Structure 1
C-alpha cells in the first residue's frame, strides 16, 4: 500500500516560480509532473534504476522505468484482449434493430420492417424495446432491471443454440452463434482502444518519476481506465443479447472502476500542481469514497437475486436504489473536481508554467469528463434518453490523456491560453448544437432533419457573434497599437548609436512588461522562447547586447509564439528602417560632397584669385572667407579636422582681428594636438565660441591684452580666454553672445564657465574629444607670438 504524506512534497521553489518582490508567487509543493519532460527518456533506458525510499514499511523496491511501462501496457493489453475475446464469443444477427413507437423494427435496405422475433427449436420470442436498450442505467426500478437480465439470458441462450433465426416480417435471418473477432463492430473498437492508449500515457508519466505522488495518482487513473471501457464496449455494442450474469458482472466492473477513476482524478487536483488539501486528508476522504462506492456497487451484484429490504444483501440493494447508483456518485465527484481545479487556478497565479500545464490538463478533464457526464449521465438522471451512445461518449474520456500529454510533457504550454479558448469555443458550439437540436425534437416535436437544420441556423446567427465578442474580450492582448509600435520602432532606428540599445530595451519593456530584463546569450539570433515560455531571448537588431526577458505581463503569463513573431517582425522593421536611414545618409553625403566640390573648385578658386590681387583690409576679409569656405567644405564631406589645424586657423584669425585694433594676443600654449581630431560640428562650435568671445572683448571689455590657453585634460579639450579689461558686473545678465556660446557647447556635450578675477574676465570652454586618430603621433605645436 502506498503511503501518502508530506515527504512526497519537498518544499522547494517550483520551476518558473521565483520570489519576486514586485509579483509574489505561491509557494508550496514542487510540480512533480513537470519533471516528466526532463526525465521522459528514462523509460527508453532499461539500465536506469530508480530506488524508492522507505516510507514506513512501504517499500517499492527498485523500479526500472522500462519495466513500469511494460507492466502497465501488458495489463492494458490483457484487459483489451479479454474484452475482444468475450465480444467475439457473442452471437450476431447481422440485422440493425431500432425501437420505434413502442416496438422493435429492423432496418433492411433502408426500410423499417417488423415485427421482429427470435425463433429457435419451434419456440418464438418477440423482441421488445427493453431487449435492445444499450445502457442498463436507464432502468428506473429494480424490477425492470431484473426483467432485463432475465430476457438477456433467455435470448442469449436461444441465439447460441443451433437453428436460431431472427424473423423479420415473416422472413428468417440466420443467427451466428459467434460473431468472431472481426465481427466486433466499429463502436466496440472506438470504446476499447482509448483504454489502452490511456494506460500507455500514464505508464510513461509514472516511469518518468515513480516517487512523486501526483505521478502515482495519474497512473492509478490509467489503471482504472481499461476496466471502465472494457465492460461497456462489450455490453453497449452487443448485437442482440449477452448472458445476463455476464452483463451484471461487466457493469459491476464498469461501475466500481468508473467511480474509482473519478475519485482518484479529484484527489489528483487536490495535490497537483499545489497541495491545496493535506495529502493525509485527501487519502482519508478518497478511501471513504471508495468504500461507499464499493458498497453501492455490491448492491448491483445482489439486485438480480435479492429483493430490496431483505437482509444485509437486500439493504445494499435498497441503498443502491436510494443513492441512484454510480451516476450520481460520478457527477458529485466531478463537481468536487471542478472546485479543486478552480482553487488550483487561484494558487498558481504566481507560477505561469504551472498555470499553463494546469490549463491544458484541467481543460481536457473538464471537456472530456464533463462532456461524458452531460451526454450520457445527466440524461439518465433526469429521465431523458441520451442523444448519443457510449461509442461517442467514451472516446471523450481520451481527451483527458491527450491533455495530460500536452500538459505534463509541456508541449507548447505557452499557447495554453489560446488553445484553451479555441477548445472551449468548439466544445461550446457542439454542446449548444446538441441542446438546441434536442429541445426542438423533444420539446417542439420536430423531425430530426428540420431540427438539425434549424439548430445550425440558430448557431450561426447567435453563437458566432457571441463567440467573436468573447474572443475580443478574453484574448485581447495588452501592448502597443500598430501606430504606437511603428512610432516606437522608428524611434529605435533613428536614435543616436549610443542611445539605440536603450531605446530597444524600452520598446521591449512596453511590449511585454517583463519582470526581468537581463543580458542574454551573445550567440542569440532573432528571438527564442526558453524555459517553457518563462523567458524570451532577443538579439539586438542594432548589434548590441542580446537581452533575456522573463515573466511577461508582470509575471501573469508565459511568452507565446505570437510574442516571438512580434519581436521578429519589429527586428526586421528596425533593420529595414536602419538600412533606409543609411541609404538616405549615403545619398545626402553624396550630395554634400558634390556641393563641397563645387564650393572648393568654383568659389574657392575665385576667392584665391581675389586674394592674389587684393590689398589691405579687403585681402584680409577674402582670406577669412576662404578659411570659412575650407571649414564648410570639411563639414560637408564629413571629414574630421586635426585639432592642430583648427586651432591654427582660429589663432590666425584672432591675431588679425586684435592687431587691427591695437590689442595684444598672448597665445603661448603647447599641446599634443596631433593625436586628436575634431568632427565638423565640434570644430565649428569651438571656433564660433572663440570668435564670439573675441568679439565680446572687442565691444565691451576695453582691454589692452587677451590671453588664450589650449590644453588637453583626459578626454576633454579646454580653452581658457582671459582679458585685462573692466570685466562683467555680477548683477548683469548674460547677453545674446554669451548665451550663444553656452548653447553651442551644450550641443556638443561641452560646458561653459565665466570667472570674474580681480582684473578682467576669464571664460573657460570645455568639450569632449570624441574622435582619435588610429595611429596617434605626438606633434608639438606652439601657439604664440
Structure 2
C-alpha cells in the first residue's frame, strides 16, 4: 500500500487542513524540513491538497473517511473510489506533490508502508477478528455436531471477514487502490451480513431448537440477497444498514420464543439469559454508536474500529454459555444489568433522535434527553419492572406464610413427627418442589451443585449425620443462586426459634395431661373399682367396660404414638371377643394392610371407636352370623349380611363415626347391595 509518511489532519478551529507531522522513516522527511527552513515555517503547516499530473485533489472529509458506507449516495461512494484510484496510479509513478495554503508545491515520494507505521487501531481490529474466530473454533471443536456450536463458529467466520477488511481501509494513511477499496468494502458488507445472519440463526437453534433448519437457510438467503443488491448498487446505501437491523430484529422474535420454551428448563433458561445479556449488550452498543447514526446520516460517536471490540465481549460471554453453564450467579443481577443497559441505550437513541429529528445542537440535545429520561422514562420503567421483572429468588414474604403452619402444626406434634420431618416439609414448601431427598453424611453449611440444579441443605439440627438434596426449585423454572444460600440460613434461624417455642408448648401440654391423667386414675379409677366390688354380678360387666374406657381415655392423654402392630392386635382381640359373646363368627384379614408404622394417639383412638361402633351396629341391627373385617392397603372394610326384613338405617351412630373419621382426615363410605351391608374407612397415606 502506498505510503507518504505524513500526518494530515483537519483543524476544526481554523477550518483548515494541516500537516502535523512527518514519520521519522518517511522518504519525504528531508524535503519537508528543507521547505519549512526555506520559508521560515514550522509544523503544523496548512495544506489544501495533492497535485497530480493533470489535476489537483483537494483534501475533504470524504477523502479521509473511515467507513465509506456511511456516505449518503452511491454517487459519492463511486467518486471516492475514483479519487482514490487516481491517487494510487499517480503514486505508482511518483508524480505527487503537496499543495500548501499559499499554493506552493512540495514534491512527494511514495514507498511501501512499513509494518511499524501501522496504527494500534489496525492491530486491534485484527486482534478482535481473529480472537472471535478462534473462540468460535474452540467451541466448535468441542461440539462438532452441535448445530448451535456450528452457527456460533460461523459468526466467528463473519467476524473474521468484516473486521480485518475494515482494518485495512479504515486505517489507511491517505492513499489506497480504489479497486481494492471497493473490494474490501464489499467483503466487509458480506462479513457483516453473514455475521448477523449467523447470530440470528443461533438464537433459533440455541438453547432449544425452535424448529426446522430451513429457517436459518431463509435468513442466510435474505442476507445474500441484500449483499448482492448492495454490490450491484440497485438500492440506496442506507438500505444496507437497514437490512442489517432488519435481519437482527428477527432475533428478538426468536428470543421471545426461546423465553417461552425454556420456562421449565432451568439450565436452558440460564443459558438464554447469558446469551441475551452477551448478544444484546455487544450488538446494542455497536448499533447505537455505529449502525443507527450511519442510517440517520449523523456523526458517529465513536470509531467503528474501536466498537468492533464490543463483539469480542459477546464471543467470550457466549463461549462460557455454550461450553459450560456456570451461570446461576447471573440470576440475581440479571434484571439490574438489563435495566441499566436498556436505560443507557434509551438515552443514547433519544439523544440521536433529538439531534437528527429536531436538528438540535448536541450540547442541548443531551440535557433534554436526560431530563425526559429522568421525568418520564425511568418512572414508567420502574412501574413496569415492578410488575413484570420481579426476581425469581424466593423472598421471605413469599415463603413465610407457607412454613408457619408447618412450624405450629399441632397435629404434627401429636403424631410424634420429628423436627427432621418438619424440616423436610419446610424445604419443600419454600422451594416449591417435591424433590427433597435425605442423604448420608454430615453437612455444616448449605451449598449449590450441579450448575445450580441442586441445593445441599444441612439437617436440622446440623450436627446430625445426614443432609438433604433439594432439586429443581419452583418445579424446575429456575436455578439456585447465592440468594438461596441466604434463605437456608434464614430458615435455620426461624425454624430454631419456632421449634424452641413448640417444644416449650408441648412440654407444658404434656405436664397438664400428666396431671389430668393422674387425677383420673387416682380419683375416678378408685371410685370405679369401689363400684365394681359393690355391684351385683349382673352389672359388673358394665362397670368393667367403664373401667376399660377410662383406661383408654387416660391413654389418649399420653403423647406417645401407638405401634401399628399393637393397634391391629388390640382391634382384633376386641372384635373377636365381642363377636364370640354375641354368637357370631369373625373373619379377620390384615395381610394387605399398608397403614403407617406409628399411629398418633388421636388417630388410634378414633379408629378404635369407629371399629367398635361399626361392630356394635352390625351386632345390634343385623344379628349376623358372620362379620368380615378386612385391611387392604390404607382401607378398613367391615361387611356382614343383613336380613331382608331389617333394613339398615342412618342414625346417630353413623353420624358420630363420620365425625370421628373427619377428625383424622379419613373418609367413611356406607354401602348396601345384594343383602350385604359394608362400611369402608379410607385413611390418607400420610395420616399417622
Answering whether residue 122 of structure 2 is matched by residue 188 of structure 1, we say: yes
Matched, 1:132 2:64: yes
Name the structure 2 match of 1:261: 195
Q: 1:192 to 1:450 in 2, by over 3 A?
A: farther
Equivalence for 2:339: 425
The one of 555, 573, 579 equivalent to 2:476 is: 555
- Is 1:396 paired with 2:396? no
Q: Does 1:199 align with 2:30?
A: no
Q: 1:504 to 1:251 in 2, by over 3 A?
A: same
- Which residue, 456, 461, 475 being the options, matches 2:390? 475
Q: Structure 1 pair 694/332, CA: closer, same or farther in 2 (3 Å)?
A: closer
Q: What corresponds to 1:620 in structure 2?
A: none
The secondary structure found in structure 1 opposite 2:521 is: helix
Q: Does the 8 A contact of 1:192 with 1:233 survive in 2?
A: yes
Q: Secondary structure at the match of 1:519?
A: strand
Q: Does 1:360 align with 2:274?
A: yes
- Do 2:52 and 2:87's aligned partners in 1 also have CA atoms closer than 8 Å? no
Matches of 2:178 and 2:10 in 1, distance apart? 19
Q: Shift in Å at residue 527 of structure 1? A: 1.7
Gap change, CA 1:516 and 1:113, over 3 Å in 2: farther
1:338 — aligned with what?
Answer: 252
Q: Deviation per CA, 1:673-716, whole angstroms, max 9, x where unpaired?
A: xxxxxx988976664442133343267x263499xxxxxxxxxx
8 Å contact from structure 1 (residues 104, 114) kept in 2: yes
CA deviation profile, 1:612-637 (whole Å, cap 9, x unmatched)? xxxxxxxxxxxxxxxxxxxxxxx99x
Aligned residues of 1:135 and 1:236 also touching (Cα < 8 A): yes
Q: Residue 226 of structure 1: SS of its match in structure 2?
A: helix
* 1:506 maps to 2:425: yes
Are 2:348 and 1:537 equivalent residues in the alignment? no
* Matched ranges for 1:197-596 at <5 A: 197-279=131-213, 281-282=214-215, 284-285=217-218, 288-289=221-222, 291-293=224-226, 295-296=228-229, 299=231, 317-319=232-234, 321=235, 326-443=240-357, 446-473=360-387, 474-477=389-392, 479=394, 481=396, 485=400, 488=403, 498-520=417-439, 522-543=441-462, 545-571=466-492, 574=495
Deviation at 1:470, TM superposition (A): 4.7
Match of 2:669 in 1: none
Structure 1 vs Structure 2 CA RMSD:
4.9
Decide whether the 8 Å contact of 1:356 with 1:417 is kept in 2. Answer: yes
SS in 2 for 1:132: coil
SS at match of 1:703: helix
Distance change >3 Å, CA 215–CA 168, structure 1 → 2: farther
Are 1:685 and 1:744, in contact at CA under 8 Å, matched by a contact in 2? no
Task: Flag the 1:325–1:465 CA change in 2: closer, same or farther, 3 A.
Answer: closer
Please tell me whether the aligned partners of residues 489 and 574 of structure 1 are also in contact (alpha carbons under 8 angstroms): no
Q: How many Å apart are 1:407 and its aligned residue?
A: 1.3
Work out the CA distance in 2 between the residues paired with 1:186 and 1:537.
Answer: 50
C-alpha distance in 2, partners of 1:409/1:190? 26
8 A Cα contact 1:270 1:340, kept in partner: yes
> 1:93·1:166 contact (CA, 8 Å) conserved in 2?
no
Q: In the superposition, relative to structure 1, how do residues 478 and 413 fare at CA in structure 2: closer, same or farther (>3 Å)?
A: closer
From 734, 745, 748, give the equivalent of 2:559. 748
Name which of 518, 524, 533 aligns with 1:693: 524
The yes-or-no answer on 1:149 pairing with 2:70 is no
Rounded Cα–Cα distance in structure 2 between residues aligned with 1:130 and 1:414: 49
Aligned-partner SS, 1:130: coil
Q: Distance in 2 between matches of 1:487 and 1:192?
A: 58
The question of whether the paired residues in 1 share the 8 Å contact of 2:155 and 2:195 is answered with yes
What CA distance in whole angstroms lies between the structure 2 residues aligned with 1:272 and 1:420? Answer: 19
Paired residues, number: 540
Q: Does 1:97 align with 2:49?
A: no
- Change in Cα spacing, 1:723 to 1:232, as seen in structure 2 (3 Å) is farther
- With over 3 angstroms needed to count, the CA separation of the structure-2 counterparts of 1:272 and 1:479, relative to structure 1, is closer
CA distance in structure 2 between the aligned counterparts of 1:429 and 1:242, rounded to whole angstroms: 41
**Shift in Å at residue 333 of structure 1?**
1.9
How far apart are 1:230 and its partner, in Å? 0.8
| TM-score normalised per structure 1 | 0.58
Contact 2:200 2:248 in 1 (8 A): yes
Structure 1 regions of 5+ residues with no counterpart? Answer: 1-85, 300-316, 589-634, 637-678, 707-721, 759-765, 769-785
2: CA distance between counterparts of 1:322 and 1:451? 29
Counterpart-to-counterpart distance in 2, 1:283 and 1:449: 44
How far 1:393 sits from its partner (Å)? Answer: 3.2
**Which sections of structure 2, spanning at least 5 residues, go unmatched?**
22-42, 579-598, 602-688
Mapped contact 2:8–2:20 kept (Cα < 8 A): yes
Residues 1:339 and 1:446: Cα distance change in structure 2 (over 3 Å): closer
- How far apart are the structure 1 equivalents of 2:104 and 2:551? 116
Q: Distance in 2 between matches of 1:355 and 1:723?
A: 80
Cα distance change, pair 767–222 in 1 and its aligned pair in 2 (3 A): closer
Give the superposition deviation at 1:472.
3.4
